[in-house]
Structure 1
Amino acid sequence: MQKIWICGANGRVGRKLTGLLRSEPVELLLTDVDSVDITVSGDVMEYAGMNRPHFIINCAGLTDLARCQREPELAFKVNALGARNLSVAARMGKARLVQFSTDDVFDGDSREPYTEFDTPGPQTIYGKSKLAGENFVREFCSRHIIIRSSWIFGAGSPYLGQILRMAEQGQVIHAAADQYAAPTGAEELAEKTVELMYHGEDGLYHVTGQGSCSRYEFAREAVRLSGTGAPVMQARGGDDDLNALRPSYSVLDNMMLRISGIALLPDWKVMLEAYMEQWRRRRQDTGMAGMDWRQGR
């Protein structure tokens, strides 16, 4: 029976991967920082040596941009050194490594979608640390897949979660109208990750929802699907506290999927509608359905 080690198993994508793979004839090794700290080389090597996984999926990372700016050494320790440690363990154990990365590795100056063949130029500590992690994976582990994605939403999503909390409370939502990317559902990303892990060739892939939008358009669509009727107002990226450090344009072109004959993910609106249907059902189960902010709660 194959063993699959998921690092950062409690995160958005980690939880989705766990749910998908539980039905497969595999042994899951699920860890987070409280059980295996990927920044400690000895701990990583000991765990990998004891369990000998066939696949290692690195969902762990420090994704808080503001914290990365405040604590750059911690950002590089988690996002770069952690990836290096897992790469070394994968190489020594002959495992295949799946590494998640981000659209923040690009500078945001383009107005054309970035392909896997475009040169990165990160402007933030977060983007720089994630690119360093990619480079360590390439250097130390020959059997690897690097997946760059963007604006991942799902249960536990900070940005979408904040939008929906504010919408339920009837607050005015200000969202950046000058930041563009391709939103991506955590569930669909997890499904494509499993497909690539088993059947994809080694290398770098951009995996995002099809189409693109601004933060404002994304927030407006989420609020519309929520049925709360809360107001959504346009803002500048620098005034959006949750995303002031994000690139202004980081739409990823899924060229490697396309030219490899691998099916693309659905349009971001289709994935958001599917997630919001789940959100509405959960809301209904808690007795909140039909009670938008205008009616009182």
Structure 2
Amino acid sequence: MNVKVMVMGASGQLGREIRQQFQGCYDLDAPGLDITDYPSVKDRISEINPSVVINTAAYTNVEKAEEEELTAFQVNAIGAQNVAIACKRVGAKFVHISTDYIFDGTKSAPYEEFDSPHPLSVYGKSKLWGEKLVEAVGGESFILRTSWLYGEGHNFVKTMLKLADERDKLSVVADQYGTPTYTKDLVWVIEKLMQTDFYGVYHASNNGSCSWYEFARKIFELTGKTVKVEPVSSAEYPTKAERPRCSVMENKLLKLRGLDVMRPWEEALQDYLENAVH
């Protein structure tokens, strides 16, 4: 009998990738629930009785979160805890997705799992609260912090390709650093972890780092686009939400466990551009 896996937020980039990779291998349930509605979450999880629940549902609009703080916290913190509680009630393993934005970006080396978080934005704070509330439930949980995700749906890679077809010149921020992460690689890690009892907080991004400017340059290099790309400072593009200057993370715990199957970001990007972008 197939293992039952429930996916919250199955219509998003990561949720779609999970459905694509897990189809036929697991008994999948993608209910489309509002995770802020605890009775609905509890009832569905009790009814399905899954072995694993993966929560990819989140409020991810970093800018809008500054004005919609309550909503961001309800989804990213209370929603995450709702799913964790319902999982604990039925003995299901819980995989929760978090973010590099829980860090302030001031560390001179890549962040490790036990570095102290210090979020700069409402979004980052709400995701950190989510982590803390999931841990407080005390269930069998894996918290995976990832960064700069792209895959199915709207993302930076597709935006850059679209703009390259429309313009001769693009300006891209060159003083914010992180790690682009292909959803395909992240799902590999999720699948490996959920087959273990190694509960805890993990960093799970592709390996290596770059600025948004370098990311854009690599996208155009791999696709043969000739658009001119100019580096600009983040100060030239002021935003409501403050973002970390350097949120590069080290997959330390995955490496220690022998579970770091994440490729260098350039290699993963090439795979995505050759096989997934249409």
State the TM bucket, normalised to the shorter chain.
over 0.9
What is the alpha-carbon root mean square deviation over aligned residues? 1.6
Matches within 5 A, 1:81-92: 81-92=78-89
Q: Are 1:66 and 2:63 an aligned pair?
A: yes
1:211 corresponds to which residue?
Answer: 208
Equivalent runs, 1:1-297 vs 2, <5 Å:
1=1, 2-24=3-25, 26-32=26-32, 36-199=33-196, 201-240=198-237, 245-278=242-275, 282=278
Deviation at 1:258, TM superposition (A): 1.3
Distance 1:243 1:210, change over 3 A: farther
Distance (Å, rounded) in 1 between the aligned partners of 2:130 and 2:149: 19
Q: Check conservation: 1:237, 1:248, Cα contact below 8 A.
A: no
Q: What residue number does 1:287 align with? A: none
Q: In 2, Cα distance between the equivalents of 1:231 and 1:151?
A: 23
Deviations along 1:174-232, whole A, 9 cap, x unmatched? 11110001111111111111111113611111011111111100011112222221111
Tell me the distance in 1 between the aligned counterparts of 2:49 and 2:157: 37
| CA 30–177 in structure 1, closer or farther in 2 if over 3 Å, else same | same
What amino acid is the match of 1:21? F
Is the partner of 1:148 in helix, strand or coil? strand
3-state DSSP of counterpart to 2:66: helix
Could you tell me which amino acid in structure 2 is paired with residue 98 of structure 1? V
Give the TM-score taking structure 2 as reference length.
Answer: 0.95
Aligned-residue identity in percent: 34
The residue type equivalent to 2:29 in the other structure is L
Contact 1:108 1:249 in 2 (8 A): yes
AA aligned to 2:178 is A
Q: Distance in 1 between matches of 2:89 and 2:216?
A: 45
Alpha-carbon distance in structure 2 between the residues aligned to 1:276 and 1:244: 30
Matched residues in 1 for 2:170 and 2:192: separation? 37
In 2, distance between residues paired with 1:231 and 1:155? 26
CA distance in structure 1 between the aligned counterparts of 2:11 and 2:34, rounded to whole angstroms: 13
Aligned to 1:288: none
1-structure distance, mates of 2:98, 2:87: 18
- 3-state secondary structure, aligned to 2:30: strand
What are the Cα deviations for residues 129-156 of structure 1, in whole angstroms up to 9, with x where unaligned? 0011111111114201000011111222
Going from structure 1 to structure 2, the CA distance change for 1:171 and 1:246 (only over 3 Å counts) comes to: farther
Q: Distance in 2 between matches of 1:46 and 1:279?
A: 36
Structure 2: 5+ residue stretches without partners:
none
Tell me how far 1:243 sits from its aligned partner. 9.9
CA contact (8 A) 2:102 2:124 kept: yes
Query: Which deviates more, 237-246 or 94-103?
Result: 237-246
Q: Is the 8 A contact 2:14 2:152 kept in 1?
A: no
Instruction: Report the CA distance between 1:242 and its aligned residue.
Output: 8.3
Does the 8 Å contact 2:17/2:184 carry over to 1? yes
Instruction: Report the CA distance shift for 1:203/1:238 in structure 2 as closer, same or farther (over 3 A).
Output: same
One-letter amino acid of the counterpart of residue 250, structure 2: D
Structure 2: how far apart are the matches of 1:243 and 1:114? Answer: 24
Asked whether the equivalents of residues 174 and 240 of structure 1 are also in contact (C-alpha less than 8 Å), the reply is: no
TM-score scaled by length of structure 1 = 0.89
